[in-house]
C-alpha cells in the first residue's frame, strides 16, 4: 500500500534513528578526543618526571663530558687557587644522534668526542636500582635528551671535589601521541614544549653508576 504524499511528509517513523546517526559520530569524536586529551596530560606529566629523574642521576654521577672534572683543577695560576670560579667559565652540552651515540660540545671538546656513552645511557636507561628517563617516558628517544653542564659561580679553583656545575636536563622535539584523533580526523602529532629540570651538581662521583 502506497502512503499518501501528504502523510509521507508528516510521518516521523525512523526519525530517532536518523538523529542518532547524525549525533553519534559527533559524540564519539568528543569522547575519544577527551581520552586523547587525557593521554596528552599523562605524557606531559611523564616527561616532567623523566627530566627530574634525569637531572638527579646526572647530579650524583660522573659528568658525561669527560673533560669537565678537570675543568677547574688544572689551574696553574697560584694567585687564583681557592678563588671562586666565575659563572660561565665552562659550558658543555651533551646529546645523542638518531642512533643513540652520545657526543658533547664545549670549551675543551670542540670535536664532540669527549662523551662517556655509558654515563649517557645510565641517565637515559637507569640501572637495576634506579629508574632512568626512559622508564618514566617509554616513548622517549635518546636523540631527544639534552644534558648541559654550566659553571654556576659556585666552587673554587683546584677544589678537590671538582667543579660545581649547574646541570640542566631537557627533553626536546618529543611529540604528543594522538591515537583516536589521528585515526578519525587525521590529527597530526605535535611537538611537546621543551621540558627541563635544573639542579646544582654535587661532588663528582668517579665510581657511579
Portion of the chain with pLDDT greater than 90, in percent:
38
Write b or e for each residue in 168-177: b if 16 or more Cβ atoms lie within 10 A of its Cβ, otherwise e.
Answer: bbbbeebebe
| pLDDT at residue 52 greater than cutoff 90 | yes
Neighbours of 39 (CB within 10 A): 15
> For the segment 134-166, what is each residue's pLDDT rounded down to a tens digit?
999 999 999 999 999 999 888 888 888 788 899
Using a CB cutoff of 8 Å and minimum separation of 24, what contacts does 111-114 make? 114/65, 114/66, 114/67
| pLDDT at residue 16 greater than cutoff 90 | no
Q: What's the rounded mean pLDDT across residues 87-96?
A: 92
Helices (H), the chain: 5-10, 15-60, 117-125, 133-136, 180-185
State how far Cα 134 lies from the chain centre.
9
Write b or e for each residue in 43-54: b if 16 or more Cβ atoms lie within 10 A of its Cβ, otherwise e.
Answer: beebbbbbbbbb
Q: Are 83 and 176 in contact (CB under 8 A)?
A: no
Please state, in angstroms and rounded to a whole number, the distance separating the CA atoms of residues 85 and 169.
22
| pLDDT at residue 206 greater than cutoff 60 | no
Q: How confident is the model at residue 208 (pLDDT cuts 50, 70, 90)?
A: very low
Where along the chain do its domains lie? 15-200
Give pLDDT, residue 101: 94
Sheet containing 195-200: which strands, arranged edge to edge? 102-105, 91-96, 145-154, 164-171, 195-200
Give pLDDT, residue 119: 94
Spatial CB neighbours of 148, under 8 Å, sequence gap ≥ 6: 91, 92, 93, 94, 167, 168, 169, 170
Give pLDDT, residue 9: 56
The model's pTM is 0.79
Amino acid at each position: 500500500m502506497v502512503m499518501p504524499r501528504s502523510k509521507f511528509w508528516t510521518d516521523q517513523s525512523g526519525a530517532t534513528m536518523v538523529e542518532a546517526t547524525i549525533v553519534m559520530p559527533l559524540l564519539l569524536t568528543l569522547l575519544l578526543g577527551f581520552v586523547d586529551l587525557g593521554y596528552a596530560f599523562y605524557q606531559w606529566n611523564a616527561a616532567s618526571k623523566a627530566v627530574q629523574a634525569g637531572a638527579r642521576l646526572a647530579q650524583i654521577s660522573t659528568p658525561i663530558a669527560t673533560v669537565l672534572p678537570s675543568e677547574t683543577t688544572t689551574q696553574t695560576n697560584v694567585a687564583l687557587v681557592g678563588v671562586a670560579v666565575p659563572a660561565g667559565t665552562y659550558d658543555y652540552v651533551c646529546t645523542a644522534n638518531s642512533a643513540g651515540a652520545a657526543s658533547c660540545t664545549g670549551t675543551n671538546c670542540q670535536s664532540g668526542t669527549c662523551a662517556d656513552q655509558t654515563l649517557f645511557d645510565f641517565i637515559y636507561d637507569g640501572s637495576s636500582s634506579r629508574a632512568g628517563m626512559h622508564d618514566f617516558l617509554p616513548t622517549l628517544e635518546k636523540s631527544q635528551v639534552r644534558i648541559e653542564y654550566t659553571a654556576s659561580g659556585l666552587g673554587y679553583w683546584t677544589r678537590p671535589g671538582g667543579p660545581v656545575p649547574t646541570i640542566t636536563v631537557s627533553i626536546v622535539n618529543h611529540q604528543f601521541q594522538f591515537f583516536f584523533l589521528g585515526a578519525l580526523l587525521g590529527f597530526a602529532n605535535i611537538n611537546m614544549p621543551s621540558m627541563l629540570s635544573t639542579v646544582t651538581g654535587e661532588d663528582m662521583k668517579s665510581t657511579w653508576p
